[in-house]
Amino acid sequence: MAVRQALGRGLQLGRTVLLRFAAKSWRRAERPFPGAVRGRWERPGRPAGRPAEAPGLGLGFGLGLPDRYRFFRQSVAGLAARLQRQFLVRARGGAGPRGRAVFLAFGLGLGLIEERQAEGRRAAAACRDIQEIFTRKSKLLPDPLDTCRWQGFRLEEYLIGQSIGKGCSAAVYEATVPVLPQNLVVAKGTKLLPAKSPDVLPQKEEVQARRAPAFPLAIKMMWNLSAGSSSEAIFSTMSQELVPASQVALAGEYGTVTFRRKSKGGRKQLTPHPNVIRVFRAFTSSVPLLPGALVDYPDVLPPHLHPEGLGHGRTLFLVMKNYPCTLRQYLHENTPSPRLATLMTLQLLEGVDHLVQQGIAHRDLKSDNILVELDADGCPWLVITDFGCCLADERVGLQLPFTSWYVDRGGNGSLMAPEVSTACPGPRVVIDYSKADVWAVGALAYEIFGLSNPFYGQGKAHLESRNYQVAQLPSLPESVPVDVRHLVVSLLQREVSKRPSARVAANVLHLSLWGEHILALKNLKLDKMIGWLLQQSAATLLADRLTEKSCVETKMKMLFLANLECETLCQAALLLYFWRAAL
């Protein structure tokens, strides 16, 4: 807005305030600030249910005032009355140039503030409209196993194949059912895993192999060493594994009503997200003797299957989609390009942001707990899995009281954020997990970009989250974009206050990937940013209709627009601005 227009609007508003002030008593003018009551300052609150106005970014972008200065915006009228009173006093005694200058400065300043507020309101309204459109577009389809008549709450309904892998608390097997719904897509193999059959098959076996059913599902069998054999006790003890369960995952299990009743006010249920695993079915059943059980995990079997086994005869089973490999396996066989690695890191940030928004902390992020499948172009799609160590308690949220060493701080001590690993128990000690998973993503970024994880190494290259310094972090390759290098360092900041949130970090990568043109502008304003967002929205909607829906870049753009918030977008733009200005 031109200075002359701002001055004109300011003078008009100033004259209005002056007339309004002159018509009122002087006593009311002596209390200029609405919060100044009884000799103390009270910050006016926002009415319940009223959406927050658009916050600004800062002076470098010509934007409105931040939300925390709402009290200042509400007290502009009182400040104006105070200035007008001084002006009237000076005018009666013969106003000089200084008095006129005060009134002129007041009018100009009031006009600029009003213009910034209007620009912020326009930006917030546009972001809300875009977010509403893409929130509907990004909704996941219902679970394919829930749209058919097949129940799937008994182990006998599945055909179980070979072992996919095992961890410290469960074993995973490939599985299928005799009749699958037509809309269940079979996961495509990546040719990363070693073949389980000889290289050359006899003709008869080859024919049988061709006719063998595909295994689009995976069954995770938990090891039950302490939960007893009742369904209710198993569900209660292993409830963290049920956090990503779908709405009908527990519908066929006896005792589910009791579990859900106890879960109210306790364990949270995670809403679906494309970068987070979905559990289609969860049920208890007797422990079977599956292929490789006597070799891979004999100690956790029940005594009737193995004489030296310590497990109970009944345990929890989870049915999920079968993904071709883990992130560790993918990176062992592939070296993604810098742009592809940036997309992979962005997917992890989107998944972590969804968890944080739901008040859930994973607390065990590592490459073995991230699954990968490929789209039609061979681009990897990442999914966070294994919630056995998560924090999903509605009573504490992301602030865990750490009263003693017996409190579970999560798994994977090597990738435990500094605020978690250095915490010492006490009566009032609370561990903040709001940015703990973000820190783990920063450490995993080294693996994604082709380097060794500095918190897994040995010798001089090994760092510990308890005592490392940011200056000790190894540098990413020069081929990695500068924005990404700055972001990884900021994600691994020891102080939580210096670490960006998952949403801001994801927006940084979104802007770096798609917004190079808009970021190149020297005088970036909110109106220009909104214009760019509208262009991206139209292009994304068109690409979603014309191209395959499995395109990773299109999906990421839709997630970006579905999570669009003016404040976090502005914070991300500021970070990029300062990082590039420092070069």
- List, by residue number, the catalytic residues: 364
Residue in 235, 221, 229 with CA at minimum distance from that of residue 312: 229
State the burial class of residue 8 (Cβ atoms within 10 Å of its Cβ: 0-12, 13-18, 19+). Answer: middle
Laid out side by side, the sheet with 314-321 consists of: 159-166, 170-176, 217-222, 314-321, 281-286
| CA 34 – CA 275 distance, rounded (Å) | 47
Residue in 166, 163, 193, 198 with CA at minimum distance from that of residue 291: 163
| CA 224 – CA 423 distance, rounded (Å) | 30
DSSP-based three-state secondary structure for 510: helix
Q: Are 28 and 528 in contact (CB under 8 A)?
A: no
Q: Please, which residues have CB within 8 angstroms of residue 320's CB and are 6 or more apart in sequence?
A: 217, 218, 219, 220, 277, 278, 279, 280, 385
State the burial class of residue 433 (Cβ atoms within 10 Å of its Cβ: 0-12, 13-18, 19+). Answer: buried
| CA 566 – CA 509 distance, rounded (Å) | 16
Tally Cβ neighbours within 10 Å of residue 335: 9
Tokens 């892998």 -> residue: 165
Q: Please, which residues have CB within 8 angstroms of residue 526's CB and are 6 or more apart in sequence?
A: 54, 56, 57, 61, 62, 63, 64, 119, 120, 122, 123, 566, 570
Can you spell out the DSSP letters for 262-301?
HHTTSB--PPP-TTB--B-EEEEEEPP--TTHHHH-GGGS
Tokens 């400040």 -> residue: 79
